[in-house]
């Protein structure tokens, strides 16, 4: 399945290939404040359709995950990081994907606040 995604204003646009089996809702300070529903996908399944230079980057804690957001509208469609084995991974905010209805998804609660 191919999903089209964007920030609110459209400055960041992307597409991602895969199947959303389950999304993660985490209670850590970052995820809860931004209201993420995250779907993890190999980084190479995500294709940017807008210039990489148009994205702003936020990092915190260990600064290992690049949280990409739009400097105009503030939406954060995804973050890029690495799995423990070093393979690149993308955490997609499914709220920024077209045609995805959050109430129809299987949501896994993650207690990130305790990590």
Kindly state whether residue 73 participates in binding Zn ion, applying the rule CB under 5 A. Answer: yes
CB of 22 to Zn ion, least distance (A): 27
Cβ distance to Zn ion smaller for residue 11 or 95: 11
* Short-list 18, 38, 14, CA closest to 26: 38
Cα distance between residue 33 and residue 69, in whole Å: 14
Query: Cα separation of 47 and 28, whole Å?
Result: 28
Using CB under 5 A as the binding rule, whether residue 83 contacts Zn ion is answered as no
Closer by beta carbon to Zn ion, 25 or else 72? 72
47: contact with Zn ion by CB under 5 A: no
Residue 6 CB, shortest distance to Zn ion, in Å, is: 8
Written as six digits, the tokens of 44 are 């190479």
Is position 9 an interface residue for Zn ion (rule: CB under 5 A)? Answer: yes
Quick one: which of 55, 41, 43, 49 has its CA closest to 13?
Answer: 49
Residue ranges in contact with Zn ion by CB under 5 A: 7, 9, 11, 70, 72-73
């Amino acid at each position: 399945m191919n999903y089209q995604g964007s920030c609110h204003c459209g400055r960041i646009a992307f597409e991602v290939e895969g199947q959303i089996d389950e999304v993660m809702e985490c209670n850590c300070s970052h995820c809860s404040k931004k209201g993420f529903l995250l779907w993890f996908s190999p980084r190479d399944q995500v294709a940017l359709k807008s210039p990489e230079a148009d994205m702003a980057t936020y990092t915190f804690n260990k600064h290992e995950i690049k949280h990409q957001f739009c400097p105009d509208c503030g939406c954060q469609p995804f973050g890029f990081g690495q799995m423990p084995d070093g393979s690149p991974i993308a955490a997609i905010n499914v709220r920024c994907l077209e045609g995805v209805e959050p109430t129809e998804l299987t949501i896994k609660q993650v207690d990130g606040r305790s990590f």
